[in-house]
Structure 1
Amino acid sequence: MTRIRLACLTIGLLAAAACGVQPDSSPRDLPEAEQALETSDESSGDIAAGADRIYLIGPGDDRLLRSVQREADSATDLMETLLRGPNDDEIEAQFTTAIPSTTELNDATIQGQNLTVDLSADIIELDTQSLVRAIAQIVYTATELDGIETVQIEIDNERLSAPTPGGDTTASPLRVYDYPGLIQTSQPAFPAGPVSNA
């Protein structure tokens, strides 16, 4: 019995020692396969940092809008940041934008609680579904600015009759409530309530 116990104890200790990670006695270079991948210095969008947010189309088949961090000094800067689209890391994470990369910001003007965003005509060449998402990106991003509740979109100084998800169009200032169901919510899904048998 004593030999069996001694053999089991020895095997157990050897197995435990073999599983442990041993520290290196001195610094060493890691093989290339174990090194972290380097990221490119080039980016299509801005660095994901700062207290401001823009809205991009998140990964997944539902193509819902998701906010990402950005740094912006003004309404003009925030809108231009949105037009630059996702950065390299976000592209790798499968974020996209419905706004054509050729779209230019002519002007962004705040008056009271409204931001007027004047864009080049490139954006209106989109099909209706893509245009709805592009406008939703603009509206949700603009209303991230302090005090902004509505957004008037113009194309080369002409008020845009903007499509909404319900199939209507409106030339009135837009609110986030005009684009429901297009944004990913952080609220968890709640289970259905109990079914009454009465």
Structure 2
Amino acid sequence: MTVRSLAVALSAGFVLGGCGVPAQDEPHVVTLPRRPLNVTASPEASTDPVGEVAQVLCLIRDSRLVQTVRRVDAVPRPQRLLDMLVEGPNQPEQAQGLSTALATTTLTVTLPAGSTTAAVEVGEAGEGAGRSDEVLAYGQIVCTLTSRADVSAVTFQRDGRPLQVPRGDGILSGSPLRAADYRSLIGPV
């Protein structure tokens, strides 16, 4: 074997054997991305279980928005996402110190065909609402709905009239809002 052949063989061995990924004998925890893993062909999700998908919900911990992932059988409709926010964290999420600013709030969402801007009708918060920080409440709604592939922005209304709501910086806005408008409130997972 010539020196050149030996050099080529050694180089090939290093390239093939040293790809930078160490071998592991045990499984390890994988952190999911902050954006959804699901993509739907239409805004209307199927009601038939099609397999497990990851759905992002924005909950609250220590006056910060926290994106958490729930595993569900099918991509939930936008209204179901809002219902989950109002219901609040499940037991494992509660154990992590997560809560909601939307308890007892009535929310209804519409996503017109061909549009990527969801319109949320906000009712008055009921008696005994756990929080009064509206910035976090609206941030939860916007960050959760825009985690869907088919929603890019959210507008708000009350009794069918446009509603100005606080962005993450506290400034009132009647424009369509995006998760970036609440970036300063999103905390670590």
TM over 0.5: yes
2:90 is the counterpart of 1:87: yes
Who is 2:32 aligned against? none
Who is 1:29 aligned against? none
Shift of residue 118 of structure 1?
1.2
The one of the two structures with greater contact order (alpha-carbon pairs below 8 A, sep at least 6) is: 2
**One-letter amino acid of the structure 2 residue matched with residue 65 of structure 1:** V
Who is 1:103 aligned against? 105
Tell me, in whole angstroms, the C-alpha distance in 1 between the residues paired with 2:65 and 2:107. Answer: 24
How many residue pairs get matched?
132
Shift of residue 120 of structure 1?
1.1
Tell me, in whole angstroms, the C-alpha distance in 2 between the residues paired with 1:185 and 1:156. Answer: 35
RMSD: 2.4
Q: Equivalent residue of 1:172, what SS?
A: coil
Deviations 1:30-63 (A, max 9, x none): xxxxxxxxxxxxxxxxxxx8421211013xx463
- The 8 Å contact of residues 56 and 86 in structure 1, kept in 2 or not, is answered as yes
Q: Equivalent residue of 2:183, what SS?
A: coil
2:160 is the counterpart of 1:181: no
2:174 is the counterpart of 1:171: yes
Who is 2:144 aligned against? 141
TM-score (structure 2 length as normaliser): 0.61
Give the gaps of 5 or more residues in structure 1.
Answer: 1-48, 187-198
From 116, 119, 122, the counterpart of 1:116: 119
Q: Looking at CA atoms only, which structure, 1 or 2, has the larger radius of gyration?
A: 1
* 1:8-27 equivalent positions in 2, closer than 5 A: none
Distance 1:161 1:62, change over 3 A: closer
Distance 1:108 1:70, change over 3 A: farther
Shift of residue 163 of structure 1?
1.1
**One-letter amino acid of the structure 2 residue matched with residue 89 of structure 1:** P
Shift of residue 84 of structure 1?
1.1
Q: Equivalent residue of 2:125, what SS?
A: helix
Distance 1:77 1:167, change over 3 A: closer
Shift of residue 81 of structure 1?
1.4
Deviations 1:157-181 (A, max 9, x none): 2221011232311111101121121
Shift of residue 185 of structure 1?
4.6
Percent identity of paired positions between Structure 1 and Structure 2:
30
- The 8 Å contact of residues 54 and 70 in structure 1, kept in 2 or not, is answered as no
Distance 1:70 1:156, change over 3 A: farther
